[in-house]
Amino acid sequence: METSVIPDWAVERRKMVDTQLIRRGIHDARVLAAMREIPREEFVPTESRVIAYSDPPIGIGYGQTISQPYMTALMAECLELTGNEHVLEVGAGCGYAAAVLGALAHDVVTVEIVPELAAQARRNLKRAGRDGKSQLRWTQRDFGSSFAGSGGVFAVALDERPFADERECEVSERRASRPGSRRAGPASRRSKLSRGGRTASAARPRGRWSP
């Protein structure tokens, strides 16, 4: 009778960082450390845990995926977080990106339009021990269309005061475009990231946007 072998997740994380991130040009030491630390296997369906650190995006249900690790790292690197920022992420999905951003910023508020995914992300963040710095809100409002027509996940770093309790889901459009804020997300099908009113190309070797 064969028994399944549970991967050494720490080894898998290090391998992911070395082969998928550093080789593609991710160099921010804090981003690399966060990607080595966050347990990605806690954010994918049970049946997909064995491939949690593979290169392609992985389905999480409801027509959505957990993005390719490279794209999560690239978005985080483009925000140039120092640890003092208050981040608003639009599109929580499974909660993995919020966990990564939470390791880099002062705090994170992430919003999700699909209630089932919001519940899933909340469970994932708690199970991974990352719910302390990442707060999740469910909203019926489609914030994604307010940021770009291409859809996808956006993170906005706001170098101001923390979010007020009742306003996390109201400030994004107004504050994300103000001086001092930095925005990262898909600006086109050619995988460009928008940051601080500028568009920075994310077209690095073998990299691709995984919505």
CB 42 within 8 A of CB 127: yes
* Catalytic one of 48, 54, 67, 181: 67
Containing H/E element for 111? strand 107-112
Q: State yes or no: is 181 an active-site residue.
A: no
Q: Which residues contact 13 (CB under 8 A, 6 or more apart)?
A: 35, 36, 37, 39, 40, 53
**Tokens 């951003």 identify what position?**
101
3-class DSSP state of 148: coil
Distance, in Å, from the CA atom of 152 to the CA atom of 72, rounded to the nearest integer, reads: 12
Q: What is the DSSP letter of 17?
A: I
Distance, in Å, from the CA atom of 29 to the CA atom of 41, rounded to the nearest integer, reads: 22
Between strands 181-184 and 154-158, the pairing is: antiparallel
Distance, in Å, from the CA atom of 179 to the CA atom of 101, rounded to the nearest integer, reads: 21
Distance, in Å, from the CA atom of 17 to the CA atom of 77, rounded to the nearest integer, reads: 13
Active site (catalytic) residues:
67
